[in-house]
Amino acid sequence: MNTDIQILDLLPTRLKEARRAQGLSLDAVAKLSGVSRSMVSQIERGESSPTIATLWNLTRALQVDFAGLLEDGTAQDRIELLRDADVPTIENRGLGCRIRILSPPEEAGKHEVYELVLDENGLLESQAHARGAREQLSVIEGRIEVVSGASRDVLNAGDTARYSADVTHSIRALKDGARAFLIVQNA
């Protein structure tokens, strides 16, 4: 482990890199972590040293390993584990839709994996992603209507749809709600 001074020198940069790797704004990290936007900004600029509780909330929100954030970065054989309660969740996107972020932060913008939990008629509408982007939606429970551009289809539990995400697209639960896994691949 590094000395206290080296840790304090690494922390602001590592937190900022983790936030940017996920494509998150300061506001988004504040919402996910419960740490104020100004505090996140001060920590990233090295103007404030976070408490252990604050650091723990930030690392959970950014999906980074608490200890690994402070080490010299050498990879070790290990299993990275996120318990159910520790998986970052976005609840203010869409209508009646909860999004759990399952992919690691370093995959943000490349290959992203989400669990979607939709209430009855829950809706997730998305603007066009980068050119060539595609999504794969696998329905675990319920029925879901998928719209990609002018195309529309209904999926039942066990069905998978692959479609263009570089056009306006949406996912809507039918009947009693639904649960699905969504993979977003950017070209």
96-155, pLDDT tens digit by residue? 999 998 988 777 778 899 999 999 999 999 999 999 999 999 999 999 999 999 999 999
Amino acid 1: pLDDT = 43
What mean pLDDT value characterizes the chain? Answer: 85
CA angle at 19 for the pair 18 and 21, rounded to the nearest 5° = 65
The amino acid that residue 129 corresponds to is: H
Judge contact between 146 and 169, C-beta under 8 A: yes
Residue among 99, 161, 156 at smallest CA distance from 125: 99
- Is residue 50 within 8 A of residue 58, CB to CB? The reply is yes
Q: Is pLDDT above 60 for 76? A: no
- Averaged pLDDT for residues 163-186: 95
Q: How far apart are CA 99 and CA 141, in angstroms?
A: 15
Residue with tokens 């206290």: 4
